[in-house]
Structure 1
Amino acid sequence: MNRPQYILQPVNPYFITFSLAAAFLLNLMPWGRTLFIPDFVAVVLLFWNVHQPRKVGMGIAFLLGLLMDVHNANLLGEHALAYTLLSYGAITIHHRVLWMSLGVQIFAVMPLLVGAQLVPFVIRQMTGAAFPGWSYLANGFVEAALWPIASFLLLMPQRRAADPDDTRPI
């Protein structure tokens, strides 16, 4: 059987702002030096770049990257560059990704998320920072595994019917 197709309501700009702010706050949590902690801002930013490229673009990605750089006390611009490249890649492939099933979308967004982890990694190595180990790049794979969960949670408010009716099939 075919899976049901939902007619989505227009996204509320306040919900986009709330989801990006919530992802930023999750990145601010003191997780310690635990491995495999995903970059929540990258996942949510990628989601909105794929689903709403006209509302969330590279400018917002750059500003969020600067905020992450200030918070992490990194070189100013390393996350900004990573998020901007992530946003550019997502906007470039957003038409193709939306036609794929959710399981295949994981493999479509995985190179973008691993690349977003690779940019700060390379910049830190070029500036002489300590080598964090190759497991640092595994966070991109963890973020890709979170893609179905993020898609489900961030599309939930758009799936609601404006005026629910038991006799209407959609």
Structure 2
Amino acid sequence: MKVGVLVLAFILAFFAESLPLGPLYAQLHPDFVALLILYWALSSSQVLSYFGIWLIGLVQDLVLGDLPGSQAISLVLMLALLYGWISRVRHLPSWEQLFFVFFLLLAQCLSAWLWHAWVGPIRWHSSLLLGPALGAALWPLLTYLLDQLQKHWPRRKTP
């Protein structure tokens, strides 16, 4: 994956995560950073570093003002689950990948929720299922847009 596309996509993902659009958006929006990490892992031939993903999760915790480590640990768990199936999922069309994406986003969301529950009391609410469902529904569109962005991104000229 091209570095410029990756940096731009992460900036947009962090921006979309922190939009102040009210409590309904805060509860229902998909985790754009997790979606981007899934895309990056599936489209790249390189294995992503768990430490790098953990650092991205810590930045996401800071951006969201969340409990330190909740997103970091849940993103690493999501990536570890993906690497167990990556050879099967990578070759599927994006509309078939969305079922795996839903499962992985749900695991990520529930592990972050469990991290919060371990630290203190927290209530279960059904919006924990809707964010991953919306993320999975957006998966084919996201993969198409990022593939097009990579295809049309200017190449570096080598001397």
CA-CA distance at 1:143 after TM superposition: 0.8
CA-CA distance at 1:103 after TM superposition: 1.8
- Indicate the residue corresponding to 2:90 in structure 1: 98
CA-CA distance at 1:74 after TM superposition: 2.5
Deviation per residue, 1:118-165 (Å, 9 max, x gap) = 0111122222233151222321111111110110011113445x9xxx
The AA in structure 2 aligned to 1:75 is: L
- Indicate the residue corresponding to 1:40 in structure 2: 32
Deviation per residue, 1:63-83 (Å, 9 max, x gap) = 111012123333211110011
The AA in structure 2 aligned to 1:137 is: L
Contact 1:83 1:116 in 2 (8 A): yes
| Rounded Cα–Cα distance in structure 1 between residues aligned with 2:149 and 2:63 | 30
TM-score by length of 2: 0.84
Between structures 1 and 2, the one with greater helix share: 2
Within-5 A mapping of 1:63-78: 63-78=55-70
- Indicate the residue corresponding to 2:109 in structure 1: 117
Structure showing greater Rg: 1
The AA in structure 1 aligned to 2:117 is: Q
Contact 1:57 1:87 in 2 (8 A): no
CA-CA distance at 1:16 after TM superposition: 1.3
| Rounded Cα–Cα distance in structure 2 between residues aligned with 1:130 and 1:70 | 20
Secondary structure of residue in 2 paired with 1:125: helix
CA-CA distance at 1:52 after TM superposition: 1.2
* Cα root mean square deviation, aligned: 2.1
CA-CA distance at 1:110 after TM superposition: 1.4
TM-score by length of 1: 0.79
Tell me, yes or no, if structure 1 residue 87 matches structure 2 residue 96: no
Deviation per residue, 1:78-104 (Å, 9 max, x gap) = 110011111222233222112212221
Tell me, yes or no, if structure 1 residue 28 matches structure 2 residue 10: no
Gaps of 5+ in 2: 155-159
- Indicate the residue corresponding to 2:157 in structure 1: none
The AA in structure 1 aligned to 2:92 is: M
Moved over 6 A (4+): none
Secondary structure of residue in 2 paired with 1:130: coil
Contact 1:53 1:91 in 2 (8 A): no
| Rounded Cα–Cα distance in structure 1 between residues aligned with 2:150 and 2:98 | 21
Q: Which of 113, 128, 141 is the matching residue for 1:149?
A: 141
Contact 2:5 2:150 in 1 (8 A): no
* Seq. identity, %: 25
The AA in structure 1 aligned to 2:130 is: A
Gaps of 5+ in 1: 1-10, 163-170
